[in-house]
Amino acid sequence: MEPVILLRDAVTVLGGFPALAGADLDVWRGEIVLVSGPNGAGKSTLLRLCAGLASLAKGSGRVLGFDLVRQRREIRRRVGYLGHANGLYLELTAEENVRFWARSAAAPAHDDVATLDRLEVPTRWRSLAVAHLSAGQRRRVALACVVVRRPDIWLLDEPHTGLDGPSRDLLDGVLREAVAAGATVLVASHELDRSAALATRTVRIVGGVLSSTDEPSDGSRGTVDVA
Amino acid sequence: MDRGGLLMWRDALLVAGKDLRIEFRSKIALNQIAPFALVVLLLFAFALDPDRGFLGEATPGLFWITVLLSTLLVVQRSYAVEAADSGRDSLRLTGLDPAGVFLGKAAAVFVVLALLEVGLAAGVRLMYDTSLRGWPVLVVASLAATTGLVAAGTMYGALAAGLRARETLLPLLFLPVVAPVMIGGTRAFAAALDGSSGEGWRWCGLLITFAVAYVALGMLLFEPLLEDS
Amino acid sequence: MTTSAQVETPRRRRGRNERLATTSSRFTRALGVIALLMGASALLLALVISPPEVTQGDAVRLFYLHVPLAVAGGYLGVGLLAVGSIGYLWKRTTFWDLLAASAAELALIFTALTLLTGSLWGRPVWGTYWEWDPRLTLTAVLFVLLIGYRAMRTASVDPQLRARRSAVIGLLAAADVPLIRMSVDWWRGLHQTATLNPLNPSLDGMMLFTFFWSMVSFAVLFLWLLVHRFRVAWLEEQLADRALDEAIAQRRAEAPQTP
């Protein structure tokens, strides 16, 4: 059985700079992996690479069995990515934003409302243009846009930033539910104590280099040979 | 129609609906681009002596130059909304069909531009005292020319999107390419206003050829533009 | 994980450097000699040996430069730009990207020279430097299209993004050429201006030969320059690759050894 994320000596170049200078990573289905590391270590780039957003300059990688060079579109439609930017349409309401993502993923009807309910987005925000919401409120709407797609892999970049205590608990709950339903989560964060409690495993990336091809923490599955 | 084709149309509708809804909310086209077009019409009157009948004679050319400049703004706006929340990933992450995204964005720009052209036609009628004749040619030429402009504009908007030089790059790339639309649209209008519709239909043929070619190229070539990091 | 730059032997490095030092090979040296001889003989034929034309006089001599430049830049250059762009979108390899870029750059230079010779020729024959002649108009639009292509190539430092977008622009521009041609032909159809028609039977045999010899010579010259331009681009690419390897090695060295 293949890991859902498999990187071998992956290099990603951003504007001539090797933001990822050699990442080896195996992530298995059902894991919640915390990617830790100092600023500029390549956490965000690692997530963008796995989302099919940043391109692979050297090395090889597969996500959900799809090649990171040739099948990025297949990968993109199956992952849920939340970056530093929320990427919402500011003129649209919270509800409309979530509905756009729901429809693009061909999610069942009324999933958008159910998702907003699950994330406890108050009804009075839902019909407001996102531009009028506060940073924390927008973050929750952006999360809802990811949740509504029911992705196989969740790639979250500093998801706890800007969220208050109850919202963070809510997020952790949503992630645990997703994992229980068969999803896999990769979280980049430097708030270790917060995310470590949630994670089943922590990997550390420094200077664009990461080496984690170990077995998952429960030890139930074997590793594959390094290619 | 096969499933992929259906998905393409569904995605096109989704994107067009989203863009038009954003436009409806922000009213940028109504409040800023339409007034801009009006200002351009005024400027032409300042540049060409309005008393000597130049304006009436030059109406086809002035009309299409104004449309061309407005197209730049509408296209720029169409891609600015994608990057409004400092992210350019949404369209790619949705995993929507690339040809569908192209058609959807182009359709939304088409609607805005077509409405703008109606306003401009009223503008030249009133301000330049041009009597509009040969309606069938005028309408067909406008529809074909607008389709061509919108298809090319949507492609070049995506080509310039996300680059630091995008504001200056878009006109440099887009304007020379639509030279046939400028020539065809102007000639077709001139012929229609002169009452020689036979000549006008010939130019409509060229405009339709351009429109078909660029819609087809856009549907084929949009995918690599959605891959960018 | 080994860093290739460190384990490489000095000897192999030097070998690579020597290979990098030049863009010529025996083949291109021969091609260059042929191209220059052909070019010189074409110039000799055009400017000295061939007779003056009945109506245009000596001005016709510029035509032996103008038309071949236009054909080499417009047809050969833009054709290869289209081939390179399609090749890249299909195969996604650097070769096709650099082929398109090199062809476009040479096409830009040849098109600029076409415009220059065209307006110099127009002054004595038309009495003006610029005439809205369909072919000259087409060349002018082509010139701006090629400038746009070049602008895209300098607009991004990401080689993959640049290659992808440039390929799309190259293809769109090439597809536009027949449409522009059709539109300017119709537009200026009633204003057919004086040109040289090689199919005109009244044309002197020597003039005809000069015309075609010049065509072939400029095409060979174009291809010779293209090979060199391509190789320069290829070497630049290797240099960038090496700089990237060094940057990767440096970043790896900065990272503490992770268990």
CB contacts of C246 in chain A (<8 Å) are: none
The complex's ipTM works out to: 0.91
- B39 min Cα distance to partner chain A (Å): 27
Task: Report the DSSP pairing between strands A17-27 and A5-14.
Answer: antiparallel
Q: Which residue of B has its CA nearest to A13?
A: B229
- C165 min Cα distance to partner chain B (Å): 6
Answer whether C157 sits within 8 Å of A15, measured CB to CB: yes
| C254 assigned to some structural domain | no
Q: What does the pLDDT read at residue A49?
A: 95
Answer whether A13 sits within 8 Å of C158, measured CB to CB: yes
Query: Does the pLDDT of residue C136 top 50, yes or no?
Result: yes
The strand ranges marked E within A90-159 are: 153-157
pTM: 0.90
Answer whether A104 sits within 8 Å of B229, measured CB to CB: no
User: Which of C147, C148, C164 is nearest residue B227 as measured by Cβ atoms?
Assistant: C164
| Highest mean pLDDT, choosing among B2-16, B47-61, B142-156, C28-42 | B142-156
CA distances from residue B201 to A122, B118, B207, B212, C182 in whole angstroms, order as listed: 58, 20, 10, 16, 15
Query: Does the pLDDT of residue C3 top 50, yes or no?
Result: no
State the first-to-last Cα distance of chain A, in angstroms, to the nearest integer. 15
Residue C132 contacts B, CB cutoff 8 Å = no
The residue type found at A89 is Y
CB contacts of A9 in chain C (<8 Å) are: 1
Answer whether C183 sits within 8 Å of B163, measured CB to CB: no
Q: What does the pLDDT read at residue B70?
A: 97
Residue C144 contacts B, CB cutoff 8 Å = yes
Q: Domain count for chain C, please give it.
A: 1
Give the mean pLDDT of chain A: 87
Taking the CA atoms of B72, B78, B80 and B83 in sequence, report the sign of the dihedral they define. negative
Answer whether C244 sits within 8 Å of A57, measured CB to CB: yes
Read off the pLDDT of each residue in C246-255 and give the average, rounded to a whole number. Answer: 86
Contact C165, C152 (CB under 8 A): yes
User: Which of B155, B177, B183 is nearest residue C145 as measured by Cβ atoms?
Assistant: B177
Tokens of C246: 């060094």
Task: Give the range of the structural domain holding residue C68, as residue numbers without chain letter.
Answer: 62-192+203-244
Q: Which residue of B has its CA nearest to C142?
A: B176
Read off the pLDDT of each residue in A181-196 and give the average, rounded to a whole number. Answer: 85
Q: Which residue of A has its CA nearest to B83?
A: A87
- B16 min Cα distance to partner chain C (Å): 23
- The topology under which CATH files domain A28-54+77-204 is Rossmann fold (3.40.50)
- Report which of A140, A189, A142, A144 is spatially closest to residue A168, judged by C-alpha positions: A140
The strand ranges marked E within B31-70 are: none
| C172 assigned to some structural domain | yes
| C170 assigned to some structural domain | yes
Residue C155 contacts B, CB cutoff 8 Å = yes
Residue C150 contacts B, CB cutoff 8 Å = no
Structure confidence by residue, pLDDT tens digits, B144-159? 999 999 999 999 999 9
| C10 assigned to some structural domain | no
Element (DSSP H or E) covering residue A7: strand A5-14
Write down which chains contact chain B via at least 3 CB pairs under 8 A: A, C
- A72 min Cα distance to partner chain C (Å): 14
Answer whether A87 sits within 8 Å of B96, measured CB to CB: no
Contact A141, A68 (CB under 8 A): no
Q: What does the pLDDT read at residue A100?
A: 93
| Highest mean pLDDT, choosing among A105-109, B192-196, C78-82 | C78-82
Answer whether B206 sits within 8 Å of C155, measured CB to CB: no
| Ramachandran quadrant class, A106 (left: phi over 0; alpha: psi -120 to 50; beta: rest) | left
Structure confidence by residue, pLDDT tens digits, A6-51? 999 999 998 888 999 999 999 999 999 999 988 888 999 999 999 9
Read off the pLDDT of each residue in A204-224 and give the average, rounded to a whole number. Answer: 65
Biggest CA-to-CA distance, chain A: 53
Answer whether A101 sits within 8 Å of B94, measured CB to CB: yes
Residue C83 contacts B, CB cutoff 8 Å = no
Residue B25 contacts A, CB cutoff 8 Å = yes
Domain layout of chain A by residue ranges: 28-54+77-204
Residue B48 contacts A, CB cutoff 8 Å = no
Residue B28 contacts A, CB cutoff 8 Å = no
Q: What does the pLDDT read at residue C190?
A: 56
Write down which chains contact chain C via at least 3 CB pairs under 8 A: A, B
Cα–Cα distance measured from residue A42 to residue A210, given in angstroms and rounded to the nearest whole number? 9
CB contacts of A55 in chain C (<8 Å) are: 160
Residue C147 contacts B, CB cutoff 8 Å = yes
- Using DSSP, state whether C227 is helix, strand or coil: helix
Cα–Cα distance measured from residue C221 to residue C33, given in angstroms and rounded to the nearest whole number? 10
- B58 min Cα distance to partner chain C (Å): 16
Grade residue C256 by pLDDT with cuts at 50, 70 and 90: low
Answer whether B177 sits within 8 Å of C176, measured CB to CB: yes
Q: What does the pLDDT read at residue C197?
A: 63
Grade residue A131 by pLDDT with cuts at 50, 70 and 90: very high
Q: What does the pLDDT read at residue B183?
A: 94
Q: What does the pLDDT read at residue A1?
A: 73
Answer whether C252 sits within 8 Å of A55, measured CB to CB: no
User: Which of B206, B210, B221 is nearest residue C168 as measured by Cβ atoms?
Assistant: B221
The residue behind tokens 């096969």 is: B2
Read off the pLDDT of each residue in A64-75 and give the average, rounded to a whole number. Answer: 91
Q: Which residue of C has its CA nearest to A213?
A: C259
Window 77-96 of B, Cβ < 8 Å to A = 81, 84-90, 92-96
Answer whether B164 sits within 8 Å of C155, measured CB to CB: yes
Answer whether A83 sits within 8 Å of B87, measured CB to CB: yes
Report helix, strand and coil shares of chain B as percent, to nearest 5.
85, 0, 15
Domain layout of chain B by residue ranges: 3-226
Window 85-104 of A, Cβ < 8 Å to B = 85-92, 96, 100-101, 103-104
Residues of chain A whose beta carbon is less than 8 angstroms from a beta carbon of chain C are 9, 11, 13-18, 21-22, 24, 55, 57-58, 204, 206-211
Which of B64, B159, B174, B181 is the best mutation test for C, with the most CBs of C within 10 A? B159
Read off the pLDDT of each residue in A147-176 and give the average, rounded to a whole number. Answer: 90
User: Which of A85, A88, A104 is nearest residue B95 as measured by Cβ atoms?
Assistant: A104
Contact A208, A178 (CB under 8 A): no
- B150 min Cα distance to partner chain C (Å): 14
Structure confidence by residue, pLDDT tens digits, B68-90? 999 999 999 999 999 888 677 88
| C22 assigned to some structural domain | no
| C120 assigned to some structural domain | yes
